[in-house]
Amino acid sequence: MSLGDKKRERGHDAMSSTKDIGPQILLAHGAGGELSRQLVENIFFKYFNNETLKPLADAAVLDFPGCRLAFTTDSFVVRPLFFPGGDIGKLAVCGTVNDLAVSGAKPLFLTASFIIEEGLPLSVLEQVTRSLGETCQTAGVKVVAGDTKVVEKGHGDLIFINTAGIGLIPANLDLGQHRLAPGDLVIVNGPMGNHGLAVLLERENLGLESGVTSDCAPLNEIIAKILEKVPGIKMMRDLTRGGLATAVKEIALGAGVDIWLDEPSIPVDDEVRGALGILGLEPLYMANEGKFVVFAAPEDAPMVIDIMANDSLGGQAAIIGEVTKGRGNVLLKTMLGGTQVLDLLAGDPLPRIC
Amino acid sequence: MSLGDKKRERGHDAMSSTKDIGPQILLAHGAGGELSRQLVENIFFKYFNNETLKPLADAAVLDFPGCRLAFTTDSFVVRPLFFPGGDIGKLAVCGTVNDLAVSGAKPLFLTASFIIEEGLPLSVLEQVTRSLGETCQTAGVKVVAGDTKVVEKGHGDLIFINTAGIGLIPANLDLGQHRLAPGDLVIVNGPMGNHGLAVLLERENLGLESGVTSDCAPLNEIIAKILEKVPGIKMMRDLTRGGLATAVKEIALGAGVDIWLDEPSIPVDDEVRGALGILGLEPLYMANEGKFVVFAAPEDAPMVIDIMANDSLGGQAAIIGEVTKGRGNVLLKTMLGGTQVLDLLAGDPLPRIC
């Protein structure tokens, strides 16, 4: 060690040079749409290359001696922390529980990791933690490990939460896009867009008043009922960032099929449609936190609808479309009788909704 | 929905009121010392109450049909992102791999979740991701799931990374503080404080020049060798936030024993001791990222030292202390022949070193 002028030059010091930085991260890279996909394919896949890591799966499927587990992670940066129908703590449980559930797993264990900005009132941390704990009880999962980091004021944003989760996949269960076949029907458990709109209205001073609340809810119980009574369902996906349209487009691309959606059949609450219309936003691209899509053979679809309709989280369940032969297109039969091609979400009309 | 003046008052809106916020989060709440412990006991344990979640364990131990798994999580907020001997990507793998390894598990699978600040050069993300991927290869683990969130410029700090990890615990392995007994010896695999000092010197313009590099490394291989040849070891712990002193104090408290440490036996590199002395910092409270402590019966200790000394990550292995009957005290026999009581880290002399 020598005392003296510290050399500030380092080849690897990203902060000491602003030259040649090339393209930068945009908010849309985190929106779950086209740019998120590019990031995954061009960077993460390049360095995390392995067969278990799949771009479109909600959770990894891992084989252990005697059991098969689903493993997933999500970070939550929603703003504001509290919104009608939920908060970041509830969201942090539902997001990870739902990723496990739509993978066919029974969610069991979560980790919870907090990145907190210096100065956060302890009362806010306690409120968020209580909500996280209560939602775990509702969902029947346990937080078994955790971590807390604190960053200086101005270097974070109140609180970010990461949850990772493990669930047990029943033997012989085989869900996935490889099982899709022409004729399969597309089913959702309720109306689209409530979560995104609820967060947006709480955050922005738009002069719009609404009674819309987030649909944020753990889906593992309703999904367990479906799997128990309709073991032949083909696959599921939860409809978070990028909304129904992006999820269905990813599935169509992954499965190498076309998927037709029937706009008049897709449930959207009137006041959500109205508010989103005023704001120029599309319900089919809005994030949900308590909605999922099921692909099932035509003979199984009525039973799926029946189970959903008799559950508090599936009151407005509907068959909204059909799988056909094709090459990854998603086609919407519109209200007006036309056909619209749906693509992955482009840009990020509504950042930080989860 | 009604158009009109948006009401800004909400009982649950933490940001709309600054009254009665009570105590706030301090940097020290994230330092792994006394305040971190209070946060865990007063808030997290209150709402995440279950028997699997233990305050002092590096990882949760989960029983599944046919296997026993360790499950852990850590978020990384180190600043700067790149420092001599490592970077946030390497750290994000080592931190979680080492938590699994000291729990006796063979680390297998990681998740990686990124919270990125808008404007981060993609080249920096790629550099971090490459390092993360390369360290996974070194450690023999796979990233099997991930997530990316982006926050607006000024609401984050370049990049935060969370990793969660799963490892397989061999049948019949029983490690933990319940196994400590008077007479057990305390062993470390090398010198203390290099990581904390390397990050500090890289971050602050202190006028100190040193060749010190972080010890950041995956410990699963050296630990596997020890477990294979010395299956009777009592417990291990990695020596990250709060350093050796805090880790040993937590263990003494948890096990209800006293632990004597012999300062002259504790390896500290000369230049680290010198630089820390100038800065008024204590090597025993500095974070390491490639150091761990082993508790072993006296008859097992020589073999542990031998295995460590023949591994590239254990060249300066040493027996540094002994367990005695007691009530949770840690007592340091100092260089000068006196006795000093060691407690948990208080405050945070060096934030964001992992």
Ordered by start, the domain boundaries in chain A are 56-169, 177-342
3.30.70.120, 3.40.50.2300, 3.40.50.10860, 3.30.1330.10: CATH of B56-169: 3.30.1330.10
Name the token pair of A277: 């219309």
Rounded to the nearest 5 degrees, what angle is found at the Cα of A297, between the Cα atoms of A292 and A298?
105
Q: Distance, in angstroms, between A183 CA and closest chain B CA?
A: 31
pTM of the model: 0.93
Residue A4 CA, distance from chain mean position: 52
Cβ-based contacts of B49 with chain A (< 8 Å)? 133
Q: How many CB pairs under 8 A join A and B?
A: 385
List, for residues A29-54, the tens digit of each pLDDT value. 999 999 999 999 999 999 998 888 87
Q: What's A177's DSSP letter? A: G
Strands of B339-342's sheet, edge to edge? B235-238, B292-296, B185-188, B318-325, B257-262, B330-333, B339-342
The verdict on a CB contact (< 8 Å) between A62 and B144 is: yes
CATH architecture of B177-342: Alpha-Beta Complex (3.90)
Residues 63-102 of B with CB under 8 A from A: 64-67, 69, 71-77, 80-82, 87
- Position A206: which residue type? L
Residue B3 scores a pLDDT above 50:
no
Cβ-based contacts of A162 with chain B (< 8 Å)? 73, 75, 113, 147, 162, 164
List, for residues A310-334, the tens digit of each pLDDT value. 999 999 999 999 999 999 999 999 9
The verdict on a CB contact (< 8 Å) between A73 and B145 is: yes
Render the burial of B77-96: b for 16+ CB within 10 Å, e for the rest.
bbbbbbbbbbbbbbbbbbbb
Residue B13 scores a pLDDT above 70:
no
What interhelical angle do B88-102 and B220-229 show, nearest 10?
A: 20
Q: Distance, in angstroms, between A76 CA and closest chain B CA?
A: 8
Which pLDDT belongs to residue B1? 36
Q: What is the mean pLDDT of residues B195-223?
A: 92
- Tell me the pLDDT of chain B averaged across its residues: 92
The verdict on a CB contact (< 8 Å) between A136 and B351 is: no
Half-sphere exposure of A81 (CA within 13 A, CB side): 24
CB-based contacts of A35, cutoff 8 Å, min separation 6: A26, A28, A29, A346, A347
Same fold, A56-169 and A177-342: no
Cβ-based contacts of B5 with chain A (< 8 Å)? 207
- Contact status of B156 with chain A (Cβ, < 8 Å): yes
Partner residue facing B150 (CB), from A29, A57, A129: A29
The verdict on a CB contact (< 8 Å) between A82 and B14 is: yes
Q: Distance, in angstroms, between B135 CA and closest chain A CA?
A: 10
Which residue in A18, A19, A48 has the most chain B C-beta atoms within 10 A of its own C-beta, making it the best mutation to test that interface? A48
Q: Quick one: which of B170, B86, B274, B48 has its CA closest to A132? A: B48
> Is the separation of the CB atoms in B189 and B313 below 8 Å?
yes
List, for residues A266-299, the tens digit of each pLDDT value. 999 999 999 999 999 999 999 999 999 999 999 9
Which pLDDT belongs to residue B55? 66
